[in-house]
């Protein structure tokens, strides 16, 4: 029997290898060299992530060279852009964790090690055409996040978050795996290109088993991106987890899971057509429910949790449009995701700095009252993020929404677009309420003017990067838009 | 003059950004922030005056056009230009902004840096709307200027300022997102492959699509104008905004709605515009009369002026949808006139409010004896708003009435009722505030206008007389562009009228629809 050795392009693997090595190094460093040296560990994590980002940006996804390990690992244009998204998300996750006071007394090695492991998992999930690899990637980052969600062990909310996320997450993983098994049963392959070919050639393979399989996969992935009706866990988990982890959870897993969503549905092609209506309804429900509930929140962290669900809804719009308007929808999704990293991470960063000012670290809306009069810079940054999250010009959020809505209209989904834009009006109400509270109310006192946290320079770096990128992506979007359009190359 | 529009457009924004490095004006009666803001806005006015002088009155198309690639992938460009329609509105903006800033010198004491930054950013936003020749650019300015206006109402406004600011924002936003959908839809449906507004004028839009797109644009603009019944945000926003905010809001922002109808909604979708014309004229007439009646029963001077705006802008809509030259050029003049006279009225309300901290009509009476100069200014402004011949208001309203009469005499009859009513509420208000005995003791010691207030009012009154007595240069600049506009809105796209045949139209007449007939 001949053994076929798979082709491996090590250069393309480097962006994943680096964070894994970084994670091991961080763990070892913490265990043997300098117990409690947070700054060294933070810097190692940042360096490995920055190196991975550099390699990703420097790489050129070449046709024909994309697949390694027989398609288990795939570095195509789509992967490249998502790597940028995920790595930026992780860099922010490290920066803002370094600035969060509540995390000061927790073991640093494990925390940042887990962040790096989660990063590698997300990257793997985005960079494959193999269903099993999608699952492996998903489990790698999910397990890291289960632990991170309960990282503040003394807090009951943290334990609740962790347990809830773990139980429901495993349940969803089960659905996903079952769905994959059914798809395998119907088509005889776990490779998406193979699946696409067989679906095309053999109409019998598009039967009930395949559709059921696809349906279960929608449930599993829908859980990870927090789409309605599978979003119930999100607010509690997001609120209970440490803020820095919440920020990471609201961005990274979304990018990875949506990547899988796009890959699966684009390869299913017409065979997945019967799911258009399902995804349509899910998109509408996700946006509308999340926005309506977000209005009533008085805790900023919980509000941002619902806002992240709503944004998953807008991304679902891109997914719905991806069959009829593939290029616009995919590039729209990529651009939206990148903008979302900057604006959402930035908002969470401000939130962390505000909760640092208080003894109890609370994130109530009232704590922001009059922020503009005693921390004008912080308030201005938050205002920029809120404007961008609302999708108003001249910020990246506007161009991203414009792009996704263009895709939907081009695909013929007029009513879906109308519902989406009306949703963004509802969203403006609660985003701007933060501006109201910061600029139009008087400070109510109670914030402890403590000495600045030693990690404030990390937060400052994160905020500068986030504000600059949010504005740049809104005012001069052209070069990144071109990058996103070049990145709509799949499997090749 | 290459680059003149870009300089006018971004000078205020640049000034606003420079204010980031300034220190707050702490004490009363001094301050570098406000002086700097005033200087920037005056420099903007000077530049725009240079543009006005260089404007060729005999040329109908866009002038001083500048174009640069922005997002080439979507066919989005930075393209700006000015014609006879937008020229006067640009001038109005650059005149009202320094006036508003000068008024705010004493009026605004807290967070001065943010305040003047907002005003300057707002100026760039408003100018951008009038200059933009690209849908995307237009929309960016259209939405972008909401944020500074929102801050101006919400931070420096009256007691119910937050409610008013949020209401203003949500109303406007709800309308404009529908316009965004329509813009993108138009982009894909027309197949022009660009967001260039002028390129879309050349390509007639499918008659079946026009009503939808027109409706989406029209709702957005109707909320801004505001046309009855979309006006409910206006009294709140005007009353709660600080005086300078009201001046800008009434003076310029409302014009963005009528300008939107004129620049985009009507010439892009002429067939639909004609179909909707009767409805919109009816709503405009209702607005004219309703606004006047509401103004009559107000006890608060500022609210009275706010409702008078609803009435006066009804005239503009009436003129536009008369589809004739008199109506169109009258509307442009009326937009400018309303900007001047209602801006001046809000300033006057601001003067008495800063003295007495109330705007209730009952609290005043006999001010003519105490403040003769102020009263003179007040009377001139009120008469200009009523439309007394010799002052600016008359020119616009009379031309519009002629245009409306040409279309349908009944329209003119109803609209003329509005003129009469406006005389009733204005003169009645003047009588109660200025004439008679001084009824409230607190009014006895009121100081008359000081030097700064003179400076604020003089340009306004000068403009009232200038436009009232010698409007010819303005009409000369408007008319060539208005004629082009008229030919755009009067073109017809062939369509089948009968209902049963509608289904066939798409296949059999798909080609024919593209053919223009006069």
CB contact under 8 A, A428 and B188: no
Sequence-ordered alpha helix ranges (H) in B490-518: 502-508
In SS3 terms, A211-255 reads as HHHHHHHHHHHHHHHCCCCCCCHHHHHHHHCCHHHHHHHCCHHHH
Q: Is the dihedral of CA B290, B293, B299, B304 positive or negative?
A: positive
Exposure of B34 by Cβ count < 10 A (0-12 exposed, 13-18 middle, 19+ buried)? buried
How many other CB atoms sit within 10 Å of the CB of residue B363? 17
Q: Based on C-alpha coordinates, what's the Rg of chain A?
A: 22
By three-state DSSP, how is residue B206 classified? coil
The structure's pTM equals 0.92
Q: Give B147's contacts in chain A (Cβ within 8 Å).
A: 387, 392
Query: Nearest by CB to A417, which of B71, B141, B181?
Result: B181
State ipTM: 0.92
Structural tokens at position A41: 């560990």
Could you tell me which of B65, B126, B117 has the C-alpha nearest to residue B94? B126
Closest CA to A46 of A461, A467, A377, A423: A461
- Read off the pLDDT band of A449 (50, 70, 90): low
**Do A393 and B140 lie within an 8 Å CB cutoff?**
yes
Let me know if B267 is exposed, middle or buried by CB neighbors in 10 A (0-12, 13-18, 19+). buried
Q: Which of B166, B144, B295 is nearest to B237 (CA)?
A: B166
**C-alpha to C-alpha distance for A471 and A281, rounded to whole angstroms:** 32
Residue A36's region, left for phi above 0, alpha for psi from -120 to 50, else beta, is left
Whether A100 shows a pLDDT value over 60: the answer reads: yes
> Digits of tens for pLDDT over chain B (518 positions)?
778 899 999 999 999 999 888 777 665 555 788 888 999 999 999 999 999 998 888 888 888 999 999 998 888 999 999 998 899 999 999 999 999 999 888 888 788 888 999 999 999 999 999 999 999 999 999 998 899 999 999 888 888 888 999 999 999 998 899 999 999 999 988 878 889 998 888 888 888 888 999 999 999 999 998 898 888 889 889 888 998 999 999 999 999 999 999 999 999 998 898 889 999 999 999 999 999 999 999 988 899 999 998 999 999 999 999 988 899 999 999 999 999 999 999 999 998 888 888 888 888 888 888 888 889 999 999 999 988 888 888 888 889 999 988 888 888 888 888 889 998 999 999 888 888 888 877 778 788 888 888 888 999 999 999 998 998 888 888 988 888 888 888 876 554 343 433 333 333 333 333 333 33
pLDDT > 90 fraction of chain A, expressed in percent and rounded: 58
Residue of B nearest to A398 (CA): B140
Query: Can you read off the two tokens belonging to residue B466?
Result: 């200038």
Residues of A in contact with B177 (CB under 8 A): 421-422, 424-425
* A404, A412 contact by CB (below 8 A): no
Phi, psi of A395 (to 5 degrees): -120, 170
B20: which DSSP letter? G
Find the mean pLDDT for residues A270-278. Answer: 85
B178 → closest Cβ in A387, A394, A421: A421
User: Residue A355: its pLDDT value, please?
Assistant: 86
Tokens describing residue A229: 């009706």
- Chain length of chain A: 492
Q: What pLDDT, on the 0 to 100 scale, is given for residue B503?
A: 35
CA A186 to chain centre: 31
The closest of A71, A77, A76, A79 to A7, measured between CA atoms, is A71
- Report whether pLDDT(A339) > 90: yes
The predicted pLDDT at position A7 comes to 78
Strand pairing report for B63-71 and A73-74: unpaired
From chain B, the residues in CB contact with A398 under 8 A are 140, 143
Q: Judge whether B265 and B321 are in contact, CB under 8 Å.
A: no
Q: Please name the member of A392, A432, A478 whose beta carbon is closest to the beta carbon of B71.
A: A478
**Is residue A448's pLDDT more than 80?**
no
- Please tell me whether residue B68 adopts helix, strand or coil conformation: strand
Mutation site for A-interface testing, chosen from B177, B178, B195, B219 by largest number of A Cβ within 10 Å: B177
For residue A375, give the 3-state DSSP assignment. coil
Residues of B with Cβ-Cβ distance to A417 under 8 angstroms: 181, 184
Distances (CA, A) of B361 to A108, A428, B87, B370, B428: 68, 37, 37, 16, 10
**In this structure, what are the phi and psi dihedrals at residue B225, rounded to the nearest 5 degrees?**
-55, -50
User: How many C-beta atoms surround the C-beta of residue B323 within 10 A?
Assistant: 19
The chain B residue lying nearest A412, using CA atoms, is B185
Q: CA of B4, closest CA in chain A: separation in Å? A: 21
| Shortest CA gap B140–chain A (Å) | 5
Report the residue from B71, B114, B144 with minimal CB separation from A393. B144
Q: What are B361-364's contacts with CB under 8 Å, separation 24+?
A: B361/B298, B361/B299, B361/B300, B361/B301, B361/B304, B361/B429, B361/B432, B361/B433, B362/B299, B362/B432, B363/B440, B363/B442, B363/B443, B364/B432, B364/B433, B364/B434, B364/B439, B364/B440, B364/B443
Q: How many angstroms separate the Cα of A187 from the Cα of each of A191, A197, A200, A296, B209?
A: 10, 9, 10, 47, 44
* Cβ atoms B82, B66 nearer than 8 A: no
| Structure tokens, B326 | 């008199």
Q: B361 with B303: CB under 8 angstroms?
A: no
- Probe site for chain A from B160, B169, B175, B191 (most A CB atoms < 10 A): B169
3-state secondary structure of B340: helix
**B66, two tokens:** 């500048």
Please state the separation of Cα A443 from the chain's center in Å.
34
Cα separation, B442 vs A240, in Å, equals 59
In chain A, what residues touch B71 (CB-CB under 8 Å)? 477-478, 481
- B235/B309 Cα distance (integer angstroms): 9
Residue A349 is predicted with a pLDDT of 94
Give which of A15, A36, A42 is closest to A96, Cα–Cα: A42
Give the integer Cα–Cα distance in Å for A483 and A334.
10
Residues A194, A217: Cα–Cα separation, whole Å: 18
Chain B residues whose CB is inside 8 A of the A406 CB are: 74, 184, 187-188
Q: Which pLDDT does position A492 carry in this prediction?
A: 65
Instruction: Chain A: give the shortest CA distance to residue B106, in Å.
Output: 20
Q: Contact A331/B73 with Cβ under 8 angstroms?
A: no
Distance CA B414, CA B392 (A): 21
**Cβ neighbourhood burial of A270 (10 Å; 0-12, 13-18, 19+):** exposed
Give the whole-angstrom CA distance, residue A24 versus residue B321.
Answer: 72
Give how far Cα B497 sits from Cα of A70, B39, B502, Å: 62, 58, 8
Task: Phi first, then psi: give them for residue B67, nearest 5 degrees.
Answer: -140, 135
User: Crossing angle, helix B233-240 and helix B161-190, to 10 degrees?
Assistant: 130
Query: Residue A115 contacts by C-beta under 8 Å, 6 or more apart in sequence?
Result: A45, A90, A93, A94, A97, A144, A148, A248
């Amino acid at each position: 029997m001949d053994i076929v050795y798979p082709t491996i392009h090590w250069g393309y693997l480097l962006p994943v290898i680096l964070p894994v090595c970084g994670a091991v190094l961080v763990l070892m460093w913490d265990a043997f060299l300098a117990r409690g040296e947070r700054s060294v560990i933070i810097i190692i994590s940042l360096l490995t992530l920055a190196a991975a980002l550099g390699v990703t940006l420097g790489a050129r996804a070449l046709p024909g060279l994309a697949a390694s390990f027989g398609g288990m690992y795939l570095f195509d244009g789509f992967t490249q852009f998502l790597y940028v998204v995920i790595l930026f998300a992780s860099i922010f996750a490290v920066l803002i964790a370094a600035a969060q006071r509540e995390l000061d007394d927790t073991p640093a090695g494990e925390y940042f090690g887990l962040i790096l492991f989660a990063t590698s998992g997300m990257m793997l999930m985005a960079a494959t055409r193999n269903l099993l690899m999608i699952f492996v990637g998903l489990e790698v980052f999910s397990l890291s996040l289960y632990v991170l969600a309960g990282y503040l062990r003394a807090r009951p909310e943290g334990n609740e978050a962790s347990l809830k996320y773990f139980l429901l997450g495993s349940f969803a993983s089960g659905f996903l795996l079952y769905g994959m098994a059914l798809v395998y049963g119907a088509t005889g392959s776990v490779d998406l290109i193979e699946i696409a070919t067989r679906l095309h050639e053999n109409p019998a393979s598009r039967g009930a088993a395949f559709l059921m399989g696809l349906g279960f996969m929608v449930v599993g992935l829908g859980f990870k991106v927090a789409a309605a009706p599978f979003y119930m866990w999100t607010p509690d988990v997001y609120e209970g987890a440490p803020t820095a982890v919440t920020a990471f959870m609201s961005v990274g897993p979304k990018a990875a899971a949506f990547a899988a969503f796009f890959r699966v549905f684009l390869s299913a092609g017409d065979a997945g057509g019967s799911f258009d209506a399902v995804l349509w309804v899910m998109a509408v429900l996700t946006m509308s429910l999340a926005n309506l509930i977000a209005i009533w929140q008085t805790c900023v962290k919980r509000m941002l949790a619902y806002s992240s669900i709503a944004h998953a809804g807008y991304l679902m719009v891109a997914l719905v449009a991806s069959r009829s308007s593939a290029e616009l929808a995919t590039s729209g999704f990529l651009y939206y995701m990148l903008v979302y990293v900057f604006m959402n991470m930035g908002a969470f960063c401000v939130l962390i700095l505000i909760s640092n000012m208080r003894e109890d670290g609370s994130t109530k809306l009232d704590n922001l009252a009059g922020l503009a009069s005693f921390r004008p810079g912080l308030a201005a940054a938050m205002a920029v993020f809120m404007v961008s999250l609302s999708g108003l010009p001249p910020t990246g959020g506007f161009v991203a929404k414009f792009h996704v809505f263009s895709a939907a209209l081009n695909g013929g989904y007029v009513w879906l677009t109308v519902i989406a834009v009306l949703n963004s009006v509802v969203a403006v109400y609660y985003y701007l309420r933060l501006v109201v509270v910061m600029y139009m109310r008087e400070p109510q006192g109670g914030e402890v003017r403590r000495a600045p946290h030693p990690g404030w320079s990390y937060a400052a770096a994160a905020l500068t990067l986030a504000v600059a990128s949010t504005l740049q992506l809104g005012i001069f979007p052209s070069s990144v838009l071109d990058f996103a359009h070049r990145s709509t190359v799949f499997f090749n | 003059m290459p680059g003149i529009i870009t300089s006018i457009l971004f000078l205020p924004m640049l000034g606003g950004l420079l204010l980031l490095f300034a220190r707050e004006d702490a004490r009363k009666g001094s301050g570098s922030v406000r002086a700097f803001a005033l200087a920037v806005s005056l420099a903007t006015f000077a530049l725009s005056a240079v543009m006005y002088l260089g404007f060729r009155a005999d040329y109908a198309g866009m002038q001083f056009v500048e174009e640069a690639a922005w997002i080439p992938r979507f066919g989005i460009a930075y393209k700006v230009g000015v014609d006879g329609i937008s020229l006067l509105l640009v001038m109005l903006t650059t005149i009202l902004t320094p006036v508003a800033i000068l008024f705010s010198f004493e009026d605004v004491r807290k967070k001065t840096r943010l305040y003047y930054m907002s005003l300057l950013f707002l100026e760039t936003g408003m100018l951008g709307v009038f200059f933009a020749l690209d849908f995307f650019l237009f929309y960016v300015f259209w939405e972008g200027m909401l944020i500074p206006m929102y801050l101006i109402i919400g931070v420096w406004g009256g007691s119910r300022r937050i409610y008013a600011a949020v209401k203003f924002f949500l109303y406007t936003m709800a309308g404009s997102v529908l316009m965004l959908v329509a813009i993108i839809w138009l982009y894909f449906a027309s197949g022009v492959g660009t967001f260039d507004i002028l390129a879309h004028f050349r390509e007639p839009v499918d008659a079946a699509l026009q009503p939808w797109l027109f409706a989406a644009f029209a709702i957005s603009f109707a909320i801004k104008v505001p046309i009855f019944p979309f006006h409910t945000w206006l009294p709140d926003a005007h009353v709660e905004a600080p005086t300078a905010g009201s001046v800008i809001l009434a003076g310029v922002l409302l014009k963005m709605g009528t300008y939107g109808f004129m620049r985009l909604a009507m010439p892009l979708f002429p067939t639909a515009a004609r179909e909707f014309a009767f409805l919109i004229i009816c709503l405009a007439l209702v607005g004219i009369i309703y606004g006047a009646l509401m103004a009559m029963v107000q006890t608060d001077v500022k609210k009275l002026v706010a409702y008078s705006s609803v009435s006066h802008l009804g005239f503009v809509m009436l003129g536009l949808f008369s589809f004739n030259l008199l109506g169109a050029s009258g509307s442009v003049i009326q937009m400018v006139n309303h900007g001047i006279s209602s801006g001046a009225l809000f300033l006057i309300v601001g003067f008495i409010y800063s003295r007495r901290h109330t705007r209730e009509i009952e609290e005043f009476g006999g001010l003519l004896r105490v403040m003769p100069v102020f009263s003179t200014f007040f009377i001139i402004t009120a008469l200009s708003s009523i439309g007394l011949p010799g002052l600016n208001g008359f020119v616009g309203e009379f031309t519009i009435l002629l245009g409306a009469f040409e279309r349908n005499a009944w329209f003119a009859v109803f609209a003329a009722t509005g003129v009469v009513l406006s005389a009733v509420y204005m003169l009645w208000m003047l009588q109660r505030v200025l004439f008679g005995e001084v009824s409230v003791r607190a009014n006895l010691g009121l100081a008359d206008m000081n030097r700064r207030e003179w400076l604020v009012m003089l340009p306004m009154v000068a403009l009232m007389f200038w436009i009232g007595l010698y409007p010819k240069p303005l009409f000369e600049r408007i008319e060539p562009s208005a004629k082009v506009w008229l030919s755009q809105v009067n073109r017809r796209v062939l369509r089948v009228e009968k209902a049963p045949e509608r289904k066939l139209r798409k296949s059999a007449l798909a080609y024919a629809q593209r053919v223009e007939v006069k």
